[in-house]
Amino acid sequence: MAKGDPRKPKGKMSAYAYFVQTCREEHKKKSPEVPVSFSEFSKRCSARWKAMSDKEKSRFDDMAKQDKVRYDQEMMHYMPGKRGKKKDPNAPKRPPSGFFLFCSEHRPQIKAQYPSLGIGDVAKKLGEMWNGLTESTKQPYLIKANKLKDKYQKARGDVADYKTKSKTGGVSMGMGMAMAVGNGVPPKPMMKSNMDDEDDEDDEDEEEDDDEYDDDE
């Protein structure tokens, strides 16, 4: 698994992530020897957070805002390293798997509960959590992943059709120009000179008609 850029600024934390981190620190001070189940700890944190007033949450909101300022400033000075071939900006993004959706939902809680863990250790813990789930618990993530996959395949097909039509149109026009030149027929923009010649001939005919009219008089 490729490692990310070590120079990239640390991601910003949400107000809830700061709250979970505070809960973990409180538990370590009160009961440092008592291990805590992650699922149980997450449920308790979630329940406490929902029961809190906006005033109680405000200090965590302030912490998140300050961290966002830090993150934005660091990102302004961050220059990512060069990578390989650029991806098509119009190409649809690959759909996440059920496991990836699960990780996206629970990763902030893991990082808040274990801030010292590296990316690999966080991924390992998430994998253990996923493997410990029942099939019925996994179903919502798997169903959502299948829907996103269907949407991705449809979008990918639309992009492929568009590229094919664009490419075919370009080739047809080019072949048409080549055939016209090969047969001795100038392209349409060059036909103007022929039209001008015809106009000159018409003008000469008109002058001759005028001369004949004058002679009759």
In a domain, 56, yes or no: yes
Q: Label residues 50-69 b or e (16+ Cβ within 10 Å = b).
A: eeeeeeebeebeebbeebee
In a domain, 207, yes or no: no
How many domains, the chain? 2
pLDDT band (50, 70, 90) for residue 127: confident
Pick the last residue of a domain from 46, 77, 108. Answer: 77
Looking at the structure, tell me whether residues 120 and 60 fall in a common domain: no
pLDDT of 82 strictly over 90: no
pLDDT, mean of residues 213-217? 45
Looking at the structure, tell me whether residues 48 and 16 fall in a common domain: yes
In a domain, 206, yes or no: no
CATH number (domain holding residue 15): 1.10.30.10
In a domain, 4, yes or no: no
**Closest to 125 (Cα-Cα) out of 103, 148, 146:** 103
160: amino acid identity, one letter: A
In a domain, 199, yes or no: no
pLDDT band (50, 70, 90) for residue 128: confident
User: What pLDDT, on the 0 to 100 scale, is given for residue 209?
Assistant: 46
In a domain, 210, yes or no: no
Looking at the structure, tell me whether residues 123 and 54 fall in a common domain: no
In a domain, 209, yes or no: no
**pLDDT 10s digits, 139-156:** 999 999 999 988 888 887
Among the residues of the chain, which ranges form H helices?
15-30, 38-51, 54-76, 98-113, 119-131, 135-182, 192-216
In a domain, 90, yes or no: no
pLDDT band (50, 70, 90) for residue 193: very low
Looking at the structure, tell me whether residues 105 and 157 fall in a common domain: yes
User: What pLDDT, on the 0 to 100 scale, is given for residue 140?
Assistant: 92
Pick the last residue of a domain from 20, 43, 77. Answer: 77
Looking at the structure, tell me whether residues 70 and 103 fall in a common domain: no
Looking at the structure, tell me whether residues 73 and 107 fall in a common domain: no
User: What pLDDT, on the 0 to 100 scale, is given for residue 87?
Assistant: 66
Contact 11, 112 (CB under 8 A): no
Range of the domain at 119: 97-174
**pLDDT 10s digits, 35-50:** 878 888 888 899 999 9
